[in-house]
Structure 1
């Protein structure tokens, strides 16, 4: 059994879930998205999607209505695939505090919501996740998934770790294996009990294997679909680890514990 802790809603979700199930991925944690690179067919379309993505991960402020459609898209996916997918509530950090909390709380009413994410603070503004971690604490310690790849900085990862230390009930997950700062992410996860690593988008296989062997209870399988392919991400894990107990922890047990599944 395998849980994909980090995947986004895509247009081809039906086919994707069918392929995932054949590969042994039984539960997928879906995140909403304002960007759909899977729709791109030409280099120009790819450039357009990545330009939109850069605005998202740079924390560029936009009107609150920009998030309504993606939130509805996620709810529709959860309703269409009960038991096969669960979700994380979006938390647009550029919104004012009152609007942000109300927006997240409304999403969390859906019974298939198991956490909050993917948080995308502007580079150098990692402390901006604090209100959401507090909200997750108020909801009994929901998992919070942060963006961890560029343009996140090493200071952002340290900010995530500091906030996690102050809210020990909340599992804080550094997304995309910390991107260019994977070694720092490993060090921080070693130091902070409730800091976890999403293994999606890992850049070096040998670092991935070392992290799993060093922190077998802190590593979580993820694909970051559509930026990764679930079956390929799964094959990468199997290529660096063959110990059955480690595989069980990374592919299922750790995430199942956080999600209470």
Structure 2
């Protein structure tokens, strides 16, 4: 698996991550609608929700790519309880919610 996660350059080294950010902008979309579209068009790609700060982004991702949307909270910077509540707010009880909250990830790592 490949992805872009937390980038923490050393003091004075912010320029080190510039190529990664440029590549992410070129390939990952600059907003949630583009990101969801890219994942929808790329069967091997998944979208993780840790940086989804608005209800619209979470709802859009789950509605458009429910089998490839993964729960994330960005802890310790984000709050896992609030992130989970957001997913629960935009989904009803059942298979889609269960997949987003861990079922899909369990399958990806061979636990499901």
Structure (1 or 2) with the greater strand fraction = 1
The 5-angstrom pairing of residues 153-192 of structure 1 reads 153=25, 155-157=26-28, 180-192=30-42
Say whether 1:216 aligns with 2:87. Answer: no
Alpha-carbon distance in 2 for matches of 1:196, 1:33 = 19
Unaligned runs of 5+ in 1: 1-30, 36-50, 62-119, 127-151, 159-179
Alpha-carbon distance in 1 for matches of 2:66, 2:78 = 22
Instruction: Deviation per CA, 1:198-220: give whole Å up to 9, x if none.
Output: 01121220221121022110100
Say whether 1:122 aligns with 2:20. Answer: yes
Match of 2:50 in 1: 200
Per the normalisation by structure 1, the TM-score is: 0.36
Alpha-carbon distance in 2 for matches of 1:201, 1:32 = 11
Alpha-carbon offset, residue 235 of structure 1: 1.1
Match of 1:60 in 2: 16
Instruction: Deviation per CA, 1:158-189: give whole Å up to 9, x if none.
Output: 6xxxxxxxxxxxxxxxxxxxxx5111110011
Distance change in 2, residues 1:209/1:60 (3 Å): same
Which runs of 4 or more aligned residues in structure 1 lie more than 6 Å from their structure 2 counterparts after TM superposition? none
Alpha-carbon offset, residue 258 of structure 1: 1.1
Alpha-carbon offset, residue 221 of structure 1: 0.3
| Higher gyration radius (CA) | 1
Alpha-carbon offset, residue 59 of structure 1: 5.4
Match of 2:75 in 1: 225
Alpha-carbon offset, residue 32 of structure 1: 8.3
Alpha-carbon distance in 1 for matches of 2:15, 2:98 = 35
Residues 59 and 123 in structure 1, CA contact (< 8 A), matched pair in contact too: no
Per the normalisation by structure 2, the TM-score is: 0.78
Residues 59 and 122 in structure 1, CA contact (< 8 A), matched pair in contact too: no
Alpha-carbon distance in 1 for matches of 2:20, 2:47 = 20
RMSD (CA atoms): 2.9
Alpha-carbon offset, residue 122 of structure 1: 3.0
